[in-house]
Amino acid sequence: MRYYDIVIVGAGASGLMAGICAARIGKNVLILERLSKPGKKITVTGNGKCNILSSLEDIRNSVNSSDKDLACKIFKSIPFQTLKKFFESIGIFVLEKNGYYYPISLQASTVRDTLVTVALAEGCDIVCDCEVNDIVKNGSGFIVNKMFSCDKLIISAGGMSRADLGTDGSSFKLLKMLGINSTPLYPALVGLTVDFKQSKTVDGVRHYADVYLLVDNQEVFNEHGEIVFTKKGIGGIPVMNCSTTAARAIEAGKNVSLRVAVLTQQDREKMLKSIWERLIEKKYTIEELLTGLANRKLVYAIMLLHHIDPMLKPGVDEGLKIATEVIDTLCGLTLKVTGTQGFDNSQVTSGGVKLDEVIIGSFEHKKINDLYITGECLDADFACGGNNLTFAWITGIRAGTYAAGGTIDSDIFY
Ligand SMILES: Cc1cc2nc3c(=O)[nH]c(=O)nc-3n(C[C@H](O)[C@H](O)[C@H](O)COP(=O)(O)OP(=O)(O)OC[C@H]3O[C@@H](n4cnc5c(N)ncnc54)[C@H](O)[C@@H]3O)c2cc1C
């Protein structure tokens, strides 16, 4: 059996960060990773560009957690500028684009490679192709897979989203072995499946839209952004950002729908006026009048939905009635939400170990000494925008530092 001061389960965002911080303090650290390479998920973040950090100060409206106050407190506990400086100190410089932060390389792989290089340079051992499936608390320490013993154990094995990236919920099974429960788990940042007869017609269509989530006919969320229609439903950032709320409401038996407005009321008035002017000329078919109001495929799908003949050359009254029907639908297409596209398509897992079960600041479990829990294993998930990685970096830095006996300057928790 090989002894280490600290064993970390999972070489993902928080695990690599924890390893770097603990090793810097001089501890003997082992990181165990089930996949053949460390940090695979990091390489696909932000569409391969890695939306690495968030500068949001008020995260309250962007977090799901059974304890939003604690989640917000943790999020603020290492300020954006400090995290940015930390990354600069290891050679990752960030650039800002429309409020989103990326590495200057715009390559997520450079973030992963740098974190791994620094972890190794600081003295961490990283063992890949090593799935942890057995943890035993042994007196004052732990025995992992009957192969490694350690004084402190950090569980950084992520959530249940994207089993192909190593995260299939095994972290929660490991925690359960130690007697630690998690809250119910839901896919988060995932597309929704909707009841839309014309979904095949619009497969692949992207559009800017105002998206509203309605639960039992009450609006609970709205956001503007780019959406994408798929064969089974709708994705895109605004939809992903309300997906957990939708998933939870559906499970609670509520009636959930999405209202998608690709046109605004101002667009409506302008467009109807223009269509009326052209109707008077009596030269145009309905299709010719309406093409260009929005994405061609979407307009066509709405015409099909209302059984409108695109080749019809209508009179003024009939033409205006048809145009109003189509434009009103483009101003508010309401679709019943039937579910989510599941954990395997979700970016993040909602739910996990309740935040009040760990010491906020070090992330050591309150009842099991020397056990630390980071990142997505915890019950806090966030809207798109670099927030989830920010939470992973913060919890990793803190758990690694405190597990190694260090502290963080001007710590707000101690
Ligand atoms: C496609 C995609 C895009 C994303 N884009 C962004 C983005 O741009 N910005 C952002 O902020 N967030 C993004 N996220 C979310 C972000 O990547 C995660 O929230 C973050 O990586 C979580 O960090 P973590 O340390 O908790 O877990 P992870 O980074 O998921 O790491 C967990 C690691 O543990 C390993 N592991 C699991 N079980 C075991 C076991 N039993 N034994 C050994 N190893 C194990 C896994 O293989 C994995 O390497 C994205 C996620 C996805 C899937």
Assign domain 2-186+348-403 one CATH number from 2.70.98.40, 3.40.50.300, 3.50.50.60, 3.30.2130.10: 3.50.50.60
Atom of ligand 1 nearest to the CA of 39: 49
User: In the chain, where are the structural domains located?
Assistant: 2-186+348-403, 191-341
> Secondary structure of the chain in the HEC alphabet?
CEEEEEEEECCCHHHHHHHHHHHHCCCCEEEECCCCCCCHHHHHHHHHCCCCECCCCCCHHHEECCCHHHHHHHHHCCCHHHHHHHHHHCCCCEEEECCEEEECCCCHHHHHHHHHHHHHHCCCEEECCCCCCCEEEECCEEEECCCEEEEEEEECCCCCCCHHHCCCCHHHHHHHHCCCCCCCCEEECCCEEEECCCCCCCCCCEEEEEEEEEECCEEEEEEEEEEEECCCEEEEHHHHHCHHHHHHHHHCCCCEEEEEECCCHHHHHHHHHHHHHHHHCCCCCHHHHHCCCCCHHHHHHHHHHCCCCCCCCCCHHHHHHHHHHHHHHHCCEEEEEEEECCHHHCCEEECCECHHHECCCCCEECCCCCEEECHHHECCEECCCCHHHHHHHHHHHHHHHHHCCCCCCCCCCC
The protein residue whose alpha carbon is closest to atom 31 in ligand 1 is 12
pLDDT tens series, the chain, 414 aa: 999 999 999 999 999 999 999 999 999 999 999 999 999 999 999 999 999 999 998 899 999 999 999 999 999 999 999 999 999 999 999 999 999 999 999 999 999 999 999 999 999 999 999 999 999 998 889 999 999 999 999 999 999 999 999 999 999 999 999 999 999 999 999 999 999 999 999 999 999 999 999 999 999 999 999 999 999 899 999 999 999 999 999 999 999 999 999 999 999 999 999 999 999 988 899 999 999 999 999 999 999 999 999 999 999 999 999 999 999 999 999 999 999 999 999 999 999 999 999 999 999 999 999 999 999 999 999 999 999 999 999 999 999 999 999 999 878 777
pTM of the predicted protein model: 0.96
Rounded to the nearest whole angstrom, what is the distance from the C-alpha of residue 53 to the centroid of ligand 1? 15
Ligand 1 mutation pick, 190, 347, 382, max ligand atoms within 8 A of CB: 347
Does the beta carbon of 235 sit less than 6 angstroms from any atom of ligand 1?
no
